[in-house]
Structure 1
Amino acid sequence: MKYICDCCGKECEDWPALAFSSPLYYDILPKKDKKEIAELSSDFCSIHHADQTDRFVRGVLFQKVNNHCEDLHYGLWVSFSEKSYQDYKDNFDNKEHEGSYFGWLCNDIPDYDFEESIPTSVYTRKGGDRPEIVPHKDFDHPFVRDYYNGVSKEEAENRIKAMLEKTTNKKLWWKFW
């Protein structure tokens, strides 16, 4: 989709949003478990293990791109506590709901090593848009540093290309937001 950018006045083309269709913990389940212990929709996922239930919510993360008018958009999943998950779910259809939640990032983003999950704040947005995910600034990880410092336009385009090439092998998909 081409348009004249309000920021630079040049003709631009939208980048696709880079989105994961499910959290990593769902992706690694055997097929049988996906059918028997998991529930997945476009915005919610729960996995009912014998000793615990894992709960996930889908949100968006806007990656700053330096010297460019457009951000790189990610569709990612975060895990929530039972209380936060229920509150978010209870207010899901309330277009005026404003709230914030603690969550853990639950997708492995290409080009980053995730030995442990990244803590995040998740902010609901009026109008029914998916909540915005913001990594905690004090967590030392290259993805967090890139979030706050930005990435180059070339790096953003390389990420788009790499994720689009992997869509045939992983549960990743893209669309325009």
Structure 2
Amino acid sequence: MFWKRKKKRIPEFRCTECGEMHSEWPALAFNSPANYNSLSDKRKEEIGKLDTDFCEIHYADQIDRFIRVTLTQKVNGFCETLEYGLWVSLSEKSYLDYKENYNNQNHETGYFGWLCSNIAEYGDTSSIPCDVITKTGNSRPEIFPHQDFDHPFVKDYYGGISKKEAVKRIDAMLKNVG
């Protein structure tokens, strides 16, 4: 098991990247959008372009564009939050504006995007409409799902989840990474 249980403390985990023990919760991060994941390795090489913050899929008739974002999930009755590293698709205009201002420390704006990461606990979470808000200081943009969209993920985002559920999700992620 990855976690050392301690009384009244956040459990520790061994990071698969650096091998060190950490006491803060890790972010639940997705390395690429679901649209890219669904491509075969051959198609990824032929039509995909992926780095740590941007992804493009060049089809014959269109280009799909994605950026990496964050989402902060409230954990009810607990001071820690659960952080996600997700992907959203943006329109060509929004994507190009974000990319052009990527290194601009003072760039603050908002875009409309569609969630493009499937969060296992909710089944299909792709295509949830979101507001994408950039931040100064070159932090990744944060997303806010549209509250009127009827989906369990959106309900939990606004209502919060239990600490037990948050720990379960982190445990599952750590087991799948290592």
Q: Paired residue for 2:18?
A: none
The answer to whether structure 1 residue 71 and structure 2 residue 113 are counterparts is no
Counterpart of 1:134 (choices 144, 148, 151) is: 144
Counterpart of 2:130 (choices 120, 123, 127) is: 120
Q: Paired residue for 2:30?
A: 20
Which amino acid counterpart does residue 48 of structure 2 have in structure 1? A
For normalisation by structure 1, the TM-score amounts to 0.86
Relative to total residues, which structure has the larger helix share, 1 or 2?
2
The answer to whether structure 1 residue 43 and structure 2 residue 57 are counterparts is no
| Aligned-pair CA distance for 1:165 | 1.8
Q: Paired residue for 1:83?
A: 93
For normalisation by structure 2, the TM-score amounts to 0.86
Q: Secondary structure at the match of 2:158?
A: helix
Q: Deviations over 1:77-130 (max 9, x none)?
A: 000000000000000000100000000000110111217510000000110000
In structure 2, distance between residues paired with 1:100 and 1:107: 20
Counterpart of 2:43 (choices 33, 38, 42) is: 33
Cα distance change of structure 1 residues 124 and 15 upon mapping to structure 2, 3 Å threshold:
same
Counterpart of 2:65 (choices 52, 55, 69) is: 55
Tell me if the contact between 1:102 and 1:121 (Cα under 8 Å) persists in the aligned partners: yes
Which amino acid counterpart does residue 167 of structure 1 have in structure 2? V
The answer to whether structure 1 residue 93 and structure 2 residue 93 are counterparts is no
Q: Paired residue for 2:165?
A: 155
| Aligned-pair CA distance for 1:11 | 5.2
Gaps of 5+ in 2: 1-7, 11-22
Gaps of 5+ in 1: 1-9, 169-177
Q: Deviations over 1:19-66 (max 9, x none)?
A: 000001111111111111111010000000001110000000000001
Runs ≥4 residues deviating over 4 A: none
Higher relative contact order structure (alpha carbons within 8 Å, sequence separation ≥ 6):
1
Over aligned residues, Cα RMSD in angstroms?
1.3
Relative to total residues, which structure has the larger strand share, 1 or 2?
1
- Identity of matched residues, %: 59
Q: Secondary structure at the match of 1:127?
A: helix
Counterpart of 2:176 (choices 152, 166, 171) is: 166
